[in-house]
């Protein structure tokens, strides 16, 4: 499973939405209805899923699913974690 699929799986689980409805251009708040506390939970869930550490402020600035995928890929490439 690649980074994009894993991000969508985590988002679907935490926002209780159908994975098929999550697109790369989906905005966490506007399209998927995430509230601020859920955004913090998503950051923690991404860290757990990918075994990485993310700068929380930078991670919370990410607004769309595709941006989250790219952000996580960058953290992994910089040695912040591993892809299973």
pLDDT per position as a tens digit, 42-52: 999 999 999 99
Cβ-contact 28, 42 below 8 angstroms: yes
Domain residues for the domain of 69 are 3-80
Q: pLDDT, tens digit, for every residue of 9-50?
A: 999 999 999 999 999 999 999 999 999 899 999 999 999 999
- The answer, yes or no, to whether residue 81 has pLDDT greater than 90, is no
Residue 11 neighbours by CB under 8 Å, 6+ apart: 17, 19, 22, 28, 32, 42, 65, 68
64 vs 79, higher pLDDT: 64
Q: What's the domain count of the chain?
A: 1
Residue 80, Ramachandran bin (φ over 0: left; ψ between -120 and 50: alpha; else beta): alpha
pLDDT of residue 82: 53
Give this prediction's pTM.
0.89
CATH of the domain at 44: 1.10.1200.10
């Amino acid at each position: 499973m690649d980074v994009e699929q894993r991000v969508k799986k985590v988002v679907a689980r935490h926002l209780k939405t159908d994975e098929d409805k999550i697109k790369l251009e989906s905005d966490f708040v506007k399209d998927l209805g995430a509230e601020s506390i859920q955004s913090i939970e998503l950051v923690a869930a991404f860290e757990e899923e990918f075994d990485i550490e993310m700068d929380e402020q930078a991670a919370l600035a990410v607004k769309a699913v595709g941006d989250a995928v790219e952000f996580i890929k960058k953290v992994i490439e910089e040695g912040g974690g591993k892809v299973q």
